[in-house]
Amino acid sequence: MNPDRLAPEIRKAVLSLPRIPWHIKSLFPISRLMYNIGARTPLDKGVKVTKEVNDGVEMMIFTPKNAAPQGAILWMFGGGHWAGKPKHLNSISSKVVNELSVAVFVPNYRLAPKHPFPADIDDCFKSWNWLVSNAEKCNIPSDKLAIAGHSAGGGIAAALAQRIRDHGGIQPQAQCLFYPMIDDRTAVDHSLDIKNHFVWNNKVNRICWNTYLNPHRAGAKKLPKYAAASRCENLSGLPSAWIGQCELDLFFEEYNIYARRLKEAGISCDIHLVKGVPHAFEVMAPKEEISIQFEAAAIDFLKKSLGIS
Q: Which of the 8 DSSP states describes residue 285?
A: S
CA distance 308 to 119: 33
CA distance 222 to 165: 21
- pLDDT value of residue 37: 87
- Residue 35 is inside which H or E element, if any? helix 28-38
Dump pLDDT digits (tens) for 79-124: 999 999 999 999 999 999 999 999 999 999 999 999 999 999 999 9
% of the chain with per-residue pLDDT over 70: 100
Neighbours of 70 (CB within 10 A): 19
Spell out the domains of the chain, with CATH numbers in brackets: 3-305 (3.40.50.1820)
CA distance 220 to 207: 14
Name residues whose C-beta falls within 8 Å of residue 159's C-beta, 6 or more positions apart in sequence.
121, 182, 226, 227, 228, 229, 232
pTM of the predicted model over 0.95: yes
Dump pLDDT digits (tens) for 183-241: 999 999 999 999 999 999 999 999 999 999 999 999 999 999 999 999 999 999 999 99
- pLDDT value of residue 28: 83
% of the chain with per-residue pLDDT over 90: 89
Dump pLDDT digits (tens) for 35-82: 888 888 999 999 999 999 988 999 999 999 988 999 999 999 999 999
CA distance 206 to 186: 8
Per-residue CA distances from 239 to 5, 79, 129, 193 (Å):
34, 24, 17, 34
CA distance 140 to 134: 8
User: Mean pLDDT throughout 239-255?
Assistant: 98
